[in-house]
Amino acid sequence: MKTAVINIGCKVNQCECDSLMTGLIALGHEVSDELVYADNYIINTCAVTKEAERKSRQVIGKVKKINPNAAIYVIGCASEKNAEQFEIKGVRYVSGTAKKDAVFEMLSGTHISPIPGAYESLPIGTNFRARAYVKVEDGCNNFCSYCVIPYLRGRCRSRAPDDVITECRAAAETTDEIVLTGINLSAYGLDVGTNLAELITKLSDLKARIRLGSLEVNVIDADFIHALVSSNNICPHFHLSLQSGSNEVLSAMNRHYTAEEYAGKVAMLRTYFPTAAITTDVIVGFPTETEETFEETMRFVREIGFSNIHVFPYSRRAGTAAFPLGALPEDTVASRVKRLSALRDELKREYESAFVSSELDVVIETTDGIYAEGYSENYIRVYVPDRDYPAGKIIKVTIEGERADGLVAK
Ligand code: SF4
């Protein structure tokens, strides 16, 4: 029996897919994470934007073309939000964000389990990738006004530290890089009497390097910095969600910091990690964003000097606090996305070019016989002439020059 487990969403979804594949292998299934011919397909959906939700539905059509008789199981945020949209011929089971491991017990119908109050354990995930993603937390209490995720994933709940450490130790046998992920990673441990700084300290003797997933800037304080500085294996790459550089828009988004506070936290990090990559997400076209507040964001982004930015056009989600505010004209949003993306490309190039002639440690992910590719500790895509490097292992390289999408090394 072959089962394909398809992820449409974030790294947390990816970790859940890995855990499901691990459980399926234990049940004797042949598994794949690609859209290949299979008897069963489990689709872990995403609702973070309208586009993600559309892709989640679209993949069902693709699956039915590959195998019209396949059993399709739909789980995740988009089905939690609106299960009916997946009640399509061929879909056997629709569930939400809870009890994802029940897919093989429920062979038909729609079943949305109540969102749990405590962390719901899936099997300890096997690492199927060059870099391992380890999920440590689920849910979010922040209720940013544009975001539907707290309604779909429930409140913050953390995985037990011992469980995290066990999965990280197992992953470190297969890869030199582990990425810690959560829906709100910064809130890790607060519900179980610990915190992210303590977890970083507990993982600091691991032989794999640790990359932190997306962080809320408020997590950065003296204890957090101390844990980072004392760690032997933390990557100098910090992804700090910004969303806007305007205090007015940040307040309307229900983000809990000002642009000045954000800049102060970046300065703290750079005191100890002067060449660290600082990456971020920015939402363009929030309904209260004006040309002036968008320009504030552009100025702020330049002032911080981000090494990369995920630029998201605002996606209006029913049920969120911002939904009644409507949406800006599409062409206004598209033009701002274009301007911010151009600035992102300029800053990225500026940051990366400073590493020409430097040595970087690259975890190799893919090879095509000519070049091997992977990410450096500071999250730069690096290309190295292929010498049969093993995937998931660090190689030390000297950077020789730039490419459109990264750097080239010897
Ligand atoms: S922090 Fe905000 S954007 Fe992130 S999941 Fe929570 S509510 Fe959504």
CATH number, domain with residue 75: 3.40.50.12160
Indicate whether 127 and 218 sit together in one domain.
Answer: yes
Indicate whether 201 and 153 sit together in one domain.
Answer: yes
* In the predicted structure, residue 248 carries a pLDDT above the cut 60: yes
Contact 5, 20 (CB under 8 A): yes
Ligand 1, pocket residues at CB < 6 Å: 140, 142-144, 147, 149-150, 183-184
Could you report the per-residue pLDDT of 67-108, keeping only the tens digit for each?
A: 988 889 899 999 999 988 988 888 888 888 887 777 766 544
Distance CA 232, CA 238 (A): 16
Residue 108: the pLDDT is: 40
> For residue 229, what are the contacts with CB-CB under 8 A and spacing of at least 6?
272
Indicate whether 373 and 400 sit together in one domain.
Answer: yes
Contact 76, 60 (CB under 8 A): no
Q: How confident is the model at residue 1 (pLDDT cuts 50, 70, 90)?
A: confident
Indicate whether 121 and 220 sit together in one domain.
Answer: yes
Q: 195 by DSSP, 3-state: which?
A: coil
- Domain stop point among 110, 129, 163: 110
Please report, for the domain that includes residue 205, its CATH number: 3.30.750.210
Q: What is the separation, in whole angstroms, between the first and last Cα of the chain?
A: 44
Distance 214 CA to ligand 1 centre (A): 10
Indicate whether 367 and 321 sit together in one domain.
Answer: no
Distance CA 37, CA 317 (A): 34
Higher-scoring residue by pLDDT: 186, 88: 186
Indicate whether 8 and 25 sit together in one domain.
Answer: yes
Backbone angles phi, psi at 367, to 5 degrees: -135, 150
Number of domains in the chain: 4
Q: Which of 140, 217, 312, 314 to mutate to test the pocket of ligand 1 (most atoms within 8 A of CB)?
A: 140
Weakest-pLDDT range from 57-71, 334-348, 353-367: 57-71
Distance 118 CA to ligand 1 centre (A): 19
Higher-scoring residue by pLDDT: 295, 117: 295
The residue nearest atom 2 of ligand 1, judged by CA position, is 144
* In the predicted structure, residue 21 carries a pLDDT above the cut 50: yes
Q: Which of 151, 183, 186, 281 to mutate to test the pocket of ligand 1 (most atoms within 8 A of CB)?
A: 183
Contact 161, 189 (CB under 8 A): yes
Indicate whether 7 and 102 sit together in one domain.
Answer: yes
Indicate whether 162 and 185 sit together in one domain.
Answer: yes
Could you report the per-residue pLDDT of 388-404, keeping only the tens digit for each?
A: 888 999 999 999 999 98
User: What mean pLDDT, rounded, does the chain reach?
Assistant: 93
* In the predicted structure, residue 121 carries a pLDDT above the cut 80: no
Distance CA 262, CA 256 (A): 10
Indicate whether 185 and 81 sit together in one domain.
Answer: no
Distance CA 158, CA 139 (A): 9
- Domain stop point among 235, 269, 302: 235
> For residue 117, what are the contacts with CB-CB under 8 A and spacing of at least 6?
154, 155, 157
Higher-scoring residue by pLDDT: 350, 369: 350
* In the predicted structure, residue 33 carries a pLDDT above the cut 70: yes
Picking from 167, 385, 168, the residue whose alpha carbon sits closest to that of residue 395 is 385
Higher-scoring residue by pLDDT: 79, 124: 79
- Domain stop point among 58, 82, 110: 110
Q: Which of 13, 115, 144 to mutate to test the pocket of ligand 1 (most atoms within 8 A of CB)?
A: 144
Distance 105 CA to ligand 1 centre (A): 31
Residue 107: the pLDDT is: 42
| Segments forming the whole domain that contains residue 366 | 359-409
Indicate whether 155 and 211 sit together in one domain.
Answer: yes
Tokens of 336: 């701002």
Indicate whether 158 and 263 sit together in one domain.
Answer: no
Indicate whether 248 and 341 sit together in one domain.
Answer: yes
* In the predicted structure, residue 318 carries a pLDDT above the cut 50: yes
Average pLDDT over every residue of 24-30:
85
